[in-house]
Structure 1
Amino acid sequence: MTKTAWVFPGQGSQVTGMGTDLLDIPSARDKFAQAEAILGWSVTDICQSDAEQLSRTLYTQPSLYVVETILADLIRERGHQPDLVAGHSLGEYIALYIAGIFDWSVGLHLVKRRAELMDSVSGGMMAALMNFDREQLDMVIAQTPNVVLANDNSPAQVVISGTPEAVQAVMSQVKAKRAIPLKVSGAFHSHLIAAAAMEFQEILESVQFQPAIVPVVSNVEPIATVDPEILKQHLIKQMTGSVRWREISLLLPTQGIERVVEIGPGNVLTGLIKRTSPGLILENVRNATELPV
């Protein structure tokens, strides 16, 4: 048997119309109805609205959680199971659900609150840098207050986060092929959203985590574990901590993983993994037509 990891994308992967082809499947329709009861708004309506509304954190995160968990559950219904799971930022919540850490509605309640808190944050800035000098980047970040490496995605792609002045200072000093400001409301994955993270920590601590049925690799500490307390502590740190995706990609082959399936819209994670750990079999399940037989 080929050892397989399932990975789940986060904010930024959303696309208008995602999930709408799942409405032909009765179990998916039921999940969308349950989600509307919890959220107070329709995921399918939001996914069919304009890109700007879908891209608002308040709506993006719960919508991705619902669509990705439905896809993953449909794959499981067809007899497939992962040997390891991981998710990028918001995607970690889908990974934890698939690993049996919490049930579906608990996960959606957590994501709803996380989205509300992150949507309320303002004043920060994030920017993606492509094809840069890593040594120079590390040095400039170390010398610039109020900016951090938020997402270490691959050897050639990172996201920095901080105050607008600090982010722009780094962008002006580091030579990169491309540097793109991201459309987000705040400095996510940095100490600048500590107040929101503290509020969310209280919510997380009130939720009982179950032992995982498959190992989970967390964003802030790229090790595979089934320990519920370790996974909870990692999740508590996740909102202000760096997403260490490059290290997760490097870890996969060391765990005997030969095949990676990205479940959710787009192909961002398989693209990043390809650049970091070439040689793995990479597949995508983005919609109903790509579900395995």
Structure 2
Amino acid sequence: MTKTAWVFPGQGSQAIGMGIDLLEVPAAKAKFEAAEGILGWSVPEICQSEEDKLSRTLYTQPCLYVVESILADLMREKGHQPDLVAGHSLGEYVALYAAKVLDFEQGLRLVKRRAELMDGAAGGQMAALMGFDREQLDREIEQTPDIVLANDNSSAQVVISGTPEAVEQVLANVKCKRGVKLNVSGAFHSPLMAPAAAEFQQVLESIPFVDASVPVLSNVDPTPAVEAAALKDRLMRQMTGSVRWREIMLRLPSEGIERAVEIGPGKVLTGLIKRTCPDIALENISGVEQLPD
């Protein structure tokens, strides 16, 4: 059997109209209804909103969680199972659901609170850098107060996070092919999220975790873990910690992974894995049509 990882994308992969084809699937319809009971609004409606409400953190994160969780359920219904799971930022919550660490409703309650807190964060800035000198970037971050490497996505693409002044300084001093400020409300995955993380901790502590059915590679610690306490601790640190996606990808071959299936909208993670681990076979499951037989 081919050893397979399921990977789940995070914020930035959302697309207007995502998940709409799932409305024809009875099991999916039931999940959408359950989600509406928890969120107080309809995921399919937001995903089709002409005002593009979907791009607002408050809505983006729960919508991605719901759609990706349903697709993971449908994969299992067709007899497919992962040998290992990982998710990028928000995607880690879906990975934990797919590994049976928590149930759908528990995961959604966590994501709802996370989205509210992150949407309400202010005073921070994030920027993506493409094509840069890693040593120069690391040195600049080290010498600049109030900034961190938030997303280490690949050797050629990262996201920095911090105060607007610090982000400006790094962008001005580091040579890169492209630097783009992100349209987000706060400095996600940085110490500036500490007040939000402290509030979130109260919710997280109230949700019981169980040991994972398959190993999980976490954003803040890309080593395989199945113990409930370790997975909860890693999630606790995720809001202020860096997303170490480059290391997660490099871990896949050493865990014997031969195939990675990106479950969710877009092909962001597939693209990153293709460039980082060219020997891994790749698949995308973004809707009903892509589901294997």
Give the TM-score normalised by structure 1: 0.99
1:206 deviation in Å? Answer: 1.7
Provide Cα deviations, 1:66-92, integer angstroms capped at 9, x if missing partner: 000001100100000000000000000
Provide Cα deviations, 1:204-247, integer angstroms capped at 9, x if missing partner: 11221101001000000000111111111000000000000000
Secondary structure of 1:18's counterpart equals coil
- 1:67 partnered with 2:60: no
Secondary structure of 2:220's counterpart equals coil
Contact 1:15 1:51 in 2 (8 A): no
Secondary structure of 2:266's counterpart equals coil
Q: Distance in 1 between matches of 2:12 and 2:168?
A: 21
Q: Distance in 2 between matches of 1:206 and 1:64?
A: 23
Residue 231 of structure 2 is matched in structure 1 by: 231
Residue 36 of structure 2 is matched in structure 1 by: 36
Residue 131 of structure 1 is matched in structure 2 by: 131
1:52 deviation in Å? Answer: 3.6
1:51 deviation in Å? Answer: 6.2
- 1:55 partnered with 2:38: no
Q: How many residues align?
A: 293
Contact 2:189 2:239 in 1 (8 A): yes
Look up the equivalent residue of 2:187 and give its one-letter code: A
Give the TM-score normalised by structure 2: 0.99
Q: Distance in 2 between matches of 1:165 and 1:275?
A: 32
1:50 deviation in Å? Answer: 3.2
Residue 286 of structure 1 is matched in structure 2 by: 286
Look up the equivalent residue of 2:77 and give its one-letter code: E
RMSD: 0.7
Contact 2:262 2:285 in 1 (8 A): yes
Look up the equivalent residue of 1:280 and give its one-letter code: I
Residue 250 of structure 1 is matched in structure 2 by: 250
Moved runs in structure 1, 4+ residues, more than 4 A?
none
Residue 46 of structure 2 is matched in structure 1 by: 46
Contact 1:93 1:107 in 2 (8 A): yes
Contact 1:261 1:285 in 2 (8 A): yes
Look up the equivalent residue of 1:116 and give its one-letter code: E
Contact 1:100 1:210 in 2 (8 A): yes
Change (3 A) 1:4 1:255: same
Give unmatched runs, 5+ long, in structure 1. Answer: none
Q: Give 1:89-238 correspondences, 5 Å limit.
A: 89-238=89-238
Contact 1:5 1:257 in 2 (8 A): yes
Q: Distance in 2 between matches of 1:50 and 1:126?
A: 26
Matched residues, percent identical?
69
Look up the equivalent residue of 1:164 and give its one-letter code: P
1:274 deviation in Å? Answer: 1.2
